[in-house]
Amino acid sequence: MHLTKELPIPFPILVTNEQQTIIDFNEYFNQIELPSLQKGQPITDFFDQWVPSDDFYIAHYNDHKYLLVSTTYEYLEGKHYIYILLNGDHYVDLLEKVKELDKYNRELDAIIESSYDGFYITDHQGTTLKVNSAIERITGIPREYYIGKNIKYLLEKGILTESVTLKVLERNEAVTVVQKNHNQMETMLTGSPIYNEAGEIEKVVTNIRDLSELNNLHQELKKVQQLNDQYKHELERLKAHKNLDPEVVIKSKKMEELFQVAERLANVDATVLVLGETGVGKDVLTRHLYRVSNRYDTGKLIKVNCGAIPKDLLESELFGYESGAFSGASRSGKPGMFELADRGFLFLDEVGELPLDLQVKLLRVLQEKEIQRVGGTDVKEVDVRVIAATNKDLKKMVEQGMFREDLYYRLHVVPVSIPPLRERRDDILPLVQHFLNENNRKYQISKSFDRSLKEFFYQYDWPGNVRELANLVERLMLTVPTNELKMKDLPDDYRKAKKPSAYVAMEMRTSNEMGTPNETRTLKEAVEQAEQEVLTLAAQQFQTTYEIAEHLGTSQATIVRKLQKYKIKPTNTKMN
Average pLDDT over residues 477-487: 94
Strand 49-53 relative to strand 56-61, pairing? antiparallel
- Name the residue type at position 274: V
pLDDT at 507: 40
CA distance 564 to 553: 18
Per-residue pLDDT of 163-201, as tens digits, reads 889 999 999 999 988 877 666 677 888 999 999 888 899
pLDDT at 194: 92
Q: Could you tell me which of 423, 421, 415 has the C-alpha nearest to residue 435? A: 421
CA distance 2 to 15: 10
Question: Which residues are CB-neighbours of 483 under 8 A, at least 6 positions away?
Answer: 445, 446, 447, 448
Map residue 125 onto helix, strand or coil: coil
Burial string for 525-550 (b: 16+ CB within 10 Å, else e) reads eeeebbebbbbbbbbbbbebbebbbe
Helices (H), 22-133: 89-114
Mean pLDDT score of the chain, rounded to an integer?
83
Sign of CA dihedral 251, 255, 256, 257: positive
pLDDT category of residue 43 using cuts at 50, 70 and 90: confident
Question: Which residues are CB-neighbours of 70 under 8 A, at least 6 positions away?
Answer: 55, 56, 57, 81, 82, 83, 84
**End-to-end distance of the chain based on CA atoms, in angstroms?**
123
pLDDT category of residue 544 using cuts at 50, 70 and 90: confident
pLDDT category of residue 44 using cuts at 50, 70 and 90: confident
Global pTM exceeds 0.85: no
Cite the beta strand spans of 26-112 per DSSP E.
49-53, 56-61, 64-75, 78-87
Burial string for 395-423 (b: 16+ CB within 10 Å, else e) reads eebbeeeebbeebbebbbeeebebbbbee
User: Radius of gyration (Cα) for the chain, nearest Å?
Assistant: 48
Per-residue pLDDT of 366-376, as tens digits, reads 999 999 998 88
SS (H, E, C) 325-353: CCCCCCCCCECCHHHHCCCCEEEEECHHH
Per-residue pLDDT of 335-351, as tens digits, reads 999 999 999 999 999 99
Does the pLDDT of residue 434 top 50, yes or no?
yes
Say which residue, 464 or 495, is predicted with more confidence: 464
Per-residue pLDDT of 127-157, as tens digits, reads 999 999 888 888 788 888 888 989 888 888 7
Q: Could you tell me which of 525, 547, 521 has the C-alpha nearest to residue 535? A: 547
